[in-house]
Structure 1
Amino acid sequence: MGEPVEKRLFHSVITAAKETGVDQRRLRKLLEAKNPISTDLPDAWALFDAEAASSLLSDLVTLLPAKSFAETLCMTRSQFDILLEDDILKPALLDADTKHVWNPKDGQDFLTSMFSGAERLVQAQHGWVHISKSAMRLKIRPGDIIRAIQRKHLLRVGNHADFDGYAALYVYHDQVVALLGGEVQDATSIELFAKSVGARQLPAFRRLILKGHSPSTKIRNPRTNAMQHYISQSDAEAFHSKFYTLRSMSLLFDRSWQRLTADLLDAGIKPFSPDGVNYGNIFLKDEVDQHLG
């Protein structure tokens, strides 16, 4: 009821099996033999005191090979290998003559650190992507994003209801871009500029810029080392001196975008499209001012 729960108070058979790596059916028999659970309750509801049973559970922990360890965390082998390379996941035993060197409790502690304070996502709305996809888009390592989460620098973390473990770890990509995207100082990407002016059709807006109807500046991305189109302050001013979006018109004329859409239709004003190409709901400023100003 509003009080933070800083450590686990209770285990079910299911959560204890995940934490220890012990087969769920075997663990059930062991717990029933020690009498901390009722034989009448299903695994999900057979609860017992976590602290009281901590010594019992620690004796049952079974170190796992990499494949089984990755499966308990609901991650693919390639995702596991990347986090291993990024020094995010570390084996419990080093230089051992066995493959069973991974402690499942370490894996559960890692997931707990990731989902602390995470938003529950019933479905991935626009902007939410799996952490692997966000890293791939920015050409950075997932470990960079994970460290930002652990340091509380990246705050918008999601826990997708349709998945378990690492598969449920989603991030808000725009925040990752702002924090780790290596954007150039005093310039912004086409996508972020489009969102700031209310241009919802991103491919169409990008087409407007790349075809030269509004200026952009090619700058080398400091992270990827690739030349990219950015919108500098002067580029943004040039756009606003030539074009309106429904959002900028709404702010200027103090009318809803629905009212503006009707007014533009009545005045015969159509979106900017000199070559018959769709550039989204972008309108020439002079034409709009002549009829509505």
Structure 2
Amino acid sequence: MVAKLRLVVEPSARETLPSFFARMATLNGTDVSGFALDLGVSFRRILEQDPTAITTFATRSGLPPEQRTTLLSWTGERAGDVRMRFRGEIFVSRALRNPVVRACPHCLREQAEGQAHPLRHMTMSGDWQCRGVDLCLKHRHPLVPLWTRMRPIERDDISARLAGILPDLLEGRFDRETVTPSEYDHWLDLRLSEGRDETWLATQPLFAAMTFCDLLGAALLRKRGEEADGRAARATGFAVASRGPDSIRGALEDLTQAGDGGHIVTQGELKPVLKTLGLFYRDDDSFGGFRDIVRTHLLEIWPLAAGEDILGHTLPERRLHSLGSASRETGIGTAVLNAFLTEAGAFSPHDARAESRKTFDAKAWQSLLDEIPALVGPIAMRKAMGATLAELKSLEADGVLVPRTRVATIKSPWRISDGLSFLDDLEQRAIPVDGETPGWETIQLVHKRLGAPAGRVIAAIRTGSLRLGKRPDVLGYHGFVVNISEASRWADQSSTREALKIAEGGMSVSVFARSAGIRGKDTFQALIDGGHTPATEVLNHRTKRLQWQMTSADIAAFHEKFATLTIISEETGAHRTTILAALASLGIERFQPDGRDIGSIYLRQDLAPVLDKLVPR
């Protein structure tokens, strides 16, 4: 059995292995190399923590297992090629092993004063070697560099190094001005000494937490125009990060806010943070919690394209567009895009953000971006439809064809598909009319001759009140014709019916429904049958049949309770697309009696926020 040395000392609190080994060598009247040889090992093997060498030293020094474990925990034990376990936490080696050795001169002087052999009593604390520690809490004194050595065997020869500076230590030449400890200092000391942490950072590995506090604090100080020195940065970062993810996200929001209300879409003050999390420790899982918080924030504000890497995560699809990125991808000018998106509700009319910071939800507005390049001007629309300029204007004026946008500066507002769909609807209703057959004229000529809006003529065709013909030798809309005599009779009857309606103070349900933009003969009837809106069933004296009619009071009651897209548009002047976007953004759903979908009818009581948003101020 290996005998315990006659002369031994107890390890001090927080003392490191090299420090204790040096004191044992001094106590036994030799240097560290000679002492190691006397033990049958080498000093290098002690520093490398060779298990056999450590066991031999511990046995000869009389160290019980718990003291040996504590000694090594304050020294740091290798846990991989570039990792060390320190106080139960994993650190990168360079955070604990540095050519520059620091200490508190007050602590060392207190240990040496009054001692006949001061080197036997002067100890190096393990926390002094930790990169995140820069202050002795006991003396409120900064840790100061004592010596610098590149070779560990020289650097960790503690007694030899202390002997060379002992006079200066005792005379106070290493002393500096004291400083006030921060909450960060107390937090780190408590976590290292007792493993206790009452902040949110207890959920994060210590080295990652220390590093992130430093990075975040420095970024915040730079943003404020203040000097980002180490102590101030760590204290500032800790004050934020210790309160958890919401607090961190708030700081990130401050760091990325631009003066125009948008977000900075370059790295800016976050560059060191992103470089550390995304490059230096890209594959380090201990930084995963902080990486996720930062990545989530950036994904919410940066217009990143699919396939871009953000802190080790490849974006599967684009989430945000800016005006600039959307313009580059679609080839559409930013002014045109801005007009479309503003009208559609993606932007406020007063949005003054710069193009690169004017962002919007890419998926929500992708259909609009896809549609814009296919829009055409009036000349192309007329050619596609086979219509004259006057005919196109009449159809637009009566709402038969609605341009995709009403922005006056946009020269290509039309969807050809709308025009072709309209023509297809007419085609299905038309009968062939030979080009030489007299008594037929175009819808536009009926409109001009009788003063009846083109929209009303088309409505009469759709209800079967007027027959529609098609001249096979004329392409498009201009080839559809109406019988002149039938049109004249229809106009006379329409005038009589309107007069009767006005005299009786009401109108038929079908006429009112169409005026409110409600399509489908059963849609409005469902409201009446369910008792949701008043109407009266009366005898039509001409047809001798019962029909539903609405008085002015009934109409007022409907308007008081309900509104449709047509009514909202008339009341606010907003385009249907803008209205739909506002309804969707506020989560307002259509009225569905008994779960039945009866179209775009809304309860007016639900529409207050929409109307308030759409009415110009």
* TM > 0.5 fold call: no
| Length-normalised TM-score, structure 2 | 0.22
Could you state the TM-score of these two structures normalised by the residue count of structure 1? 0.43
Which structure's CA Rg is the greater one? 2
Greater RCO, 1 or 2 (C-alpha within 8 Å, sep 6+): 1
